[in-house]
Amino acid sequence: MRSRWIRVLPLATIVAGGGAGVAMAAIGSTRANAVSHTKTATVDTVRNSKYGTVLIGANGHTLYRFTTDTKNHALCTGGCAVYWKPLLVKVGTKPTAGSGVAGNLLGSIKSAHGMQQVTYAGFPLYMYFQDTKAGQLNGQGASNAQNGIKPPGLWYVVNTHGALVKSGATTGSGTSTGGGYGGGGY
């Protein structure tokens, strides 16, 4: 798990060492890339050998749900959103359902900066900052609390029913069994 957060630890070290200005500049440059928004806001699916069919963004990046979020309410904001990029659209833009995505489960909620955050089954969707290429699942099973990010909670990929997929392929009920950490690609 530590290897996933290797980029976070040096910032904390810099701040502890008195280099707050350098750390803030690094955080500021990360924040510029902290959100992911598109004009079309297409949510699509891909088949993963371990997790079954999961949701992805138009760029092919994996979409995640945060266990602390509630329906129609995003709790990952501020510093949390530096690492977990909300999937955003401009106000008035409706998310588009790609292949295998239930259009009636897509929606959006009000977000910061005059944007809307895309939801699926009412829950906000995010991309992980260390998923730099399509097909990566580096955020699967990650823990905010374990890595010093607030609010605490866990992150999992989402299936086509809107359920969290913790490990293994999903069952017919749209739920999954087990827990643990992923990280492999599609």
What global pTM score does this model have?
0.73
Give yes or no for residue 37 having a pLDDT over 70: no
Q: What is the mean pLDDT of residues 7-33?
A: 34
Give yes or no for residue 11 having a pLDDT over 50: no
Q: Is the dihedral of CA 109, 67, 173, 98 positive or negative?
A: positive
Residue 7: band (very low, low, confident or very high) from pLDDT cuts 50, 70, 90 = very low
Give yes or no for residue 171 having a pLDDT over 60: no
What pLDDT does 47 receive?
96
pLDDT in tens, 64-79: 999 999 999 999 999 9
Give yes or no for residue 29 having a pLDDT over 50: no
Cβ atoms within 10 A of the Cβ of 6, count?
Answer: 9
Query: CA torsion angle for 10, 12, 17, 21 (degrees, to 10)?
Result: 90
What pLDDT does 185 receive?
53
The larger pLDDT score, comparing residue 14 to residue 99, is at 99
**What is the distance between the alpha carbons of residues 52 and 169, in angstroms, rounded to a whole number?**
5
**What is the distance between the alpha carbons of residues 184 and 149, in angstroms, rounded to a whole number?**
23
Give the whole-number percent of the chain exceeding pLDDT 70.
69
Q: Phi and psi for 28 in degrees, rounded to 5?
A: -60, -40
Residues with Cβ within 8 Å of 94's Cβ and at least 6 positions away in sequence, in order, are: 41, 106, 108
Environment class of residue 108 by beta-carbon count within 10 Å: exposed (0-12), middle (13-18) or buried (19+)?
buried
| Mean pLDDT value across the chain | 77
What pLDDT does 169 receive?
58
**What is the distance between the alpha carbons of residues 125 and 130, in angstroms, rounded to a whole number?**
16
